[in-house]
Amino acid sequence: MAKKNIALVMGGFSGEHDVSINSGCQVYENLDHEKYNVYKIVVERTGWYWLTDSGEHRPVNRDNFTVEGVERFDLAFIIIHGNPGENGVLQGYLDMLGIPYTTCGFYTSALTFNKGYCNPVVRSFGVVSLAKSKLLYGNQPIDPEALLKELSLPLFVKPAAGGSSVATTKVKRPEELMPAIREALTEDSQVLVEEFIQGREFDCGVLRTKEKLYVFPVTEIIPTGGHEFFDYAAKYDGFSNEVTPAEVEKSVSDHIQEVSAQLYDLLDCRGIVRFDFIYDTQKQELFFLEVNTIPGQSAESIVPKQARAMGISTKELYEMVIQACLPE
């Protein structure tokens, strides 16, 4: 049987570009090269290119998404965090070309990427609580005093469409609000301001194959080194403890897994998706934070650790993803 041609698409236009490259290299090392011809395709604003094993940059024909020697890719393994891989833009392009891919479809990707749009939809499902929040637009006047009458400090200010906690700030005092909003606007034209929920942070990965739905063990994120939340440094510079499986009551972890499975189907997700939550220990109430439709796959990333805790190797995980998305 001829080997399938896989385009491993990484890079992107956002502040998560380098994270995506790290994730892509991790995936590349763990794919079955005896079974697949894998091409590292780097997407950047200055151009798209095939990064060969010798480090050469060879052009990508964006008219039909091909490279020299490949008439057609059988599958795109998308590992771009942020724009244009996680917001539906790349999915729409591949849909027009009829090339299958490993992530959620165009509509789900676009919706879930913007927290300000996704949160009301998740709230409407009635399966999990959400913090009170306000979506701001950079092209409209922003009144911080009016905002503070609607929402109570402390607040989280973050780009509505973004990830890896880039340009995310915890605001404790009124005078910190506008600088935090301005910083978030450097990453996106919309900003989500939401009330802080005191509690424990948990993440849960989900993957549906053609045979079954896999709900991975829950991970607890515990920031260290003075980091009050799971910010960029906590994620990628080692300033956090990630405990998998989480050391929490079984009833809590079961509830997190149940809600994650429900949201996966309610949002019509595909591929590996990670759901992030805060559990308010005083109220014993679970709050939805966000959904990551292309979660990190670097050596430090959460979902591969969850899969290993379930007895699934990283190689097996990516093989499951590919087989779930390849046409029959």
Whichever domain contains 281, its CATH number is: 3.30.470.20
139 and 229 in a single domain? The answer is no
The reply to whether 226 and 116 lie within a common domain is: yes
User: Does residue 52 form part of some domain?
Assistant: yes
Number of other CB atoms surrounding residue 145 within 10 Å:
8
Is the domain of 86 the same as that of 150? no
Q: Is residue 117 part of a domain?
A: yes
Q: What is the pLDDT of residues 178-226, one digit of tens each?
A: 999 999 998 888 999 999 999 999 999 999 999 999 999 999 999 876 5
Is residue 63 in some structural domain?
yes
Within-domain flag for 55: yes
* CATH code assigned at 142: 3.30.1490.20
Does residue 145 sit within a domain? Answer: yes
Q: Do 21 and 159 reside in the same domain of the chain?
A: no
203 and 301 in a single domain? The answer is yes
Identify whether residues 206 and 73 lie together within a single domain.
no
Q: What pLDDT, on a 0 to 100 scale, did the predictor assign at position 102?
A: 98
Does residue 125 sit in the same domain as residue 206?
yes
165 and 213 in a single domain? The answer is no
Domain ends where: 174, 195, 216? Answer: 195
Within-domain flag for 157: yes
- 278, 298, 240, 288: which is closest to 122 by C-alpha? 288
> Among 24-33, 61-70, 227-236, 286-295, where is mean pLDDT lowest?
227-236
pLDDT for the residue 298: 79
- Percent share of the chain, pLDDT over 90: 84
Q: Is 323 a domain residue? A: no
Residue 13 maps to which CATH number?
Answer: 3.40.50.20
Whether residue 148 is contained in a domain is answered as yes
Lowest mean pLDDT among 21-25, 234-238, 298-302: 234-238
Task: Report the domain count for the chain.
Answer: 3
Indicate if 92 and 172 belong to the same structural domain. Answer: no
pTM listed for this prediction = 0.90
**Where does a domain end: 180, 195, 210?**
195
| 59-95 pLDDT, tens digit each | 999 999 999 999 999 999 999 998 999 999 999 999 9
What is the pLDDT at residue 227?
A: 46
Is the pLDDT confidence value at 36 over 60? yes
Q: What was the pLDDT predicted at 14?
A: 85
CB-based contact 200:281 (threshold 8 Å): yes
Domain containing 65: what range? 4-103
pLDDT greater than 50 at residue 120: yes
> Do residue 152 and residue 257 come from a single domain?
no
Among 103, 121, 155, identify where a domain stops: 103
* Same domain, residue pair 244 and 306: yes
Same domain, 73 and 151: no
Name the band, by pLDDT with cuts 50, 70 and 90, for residue 236: very low
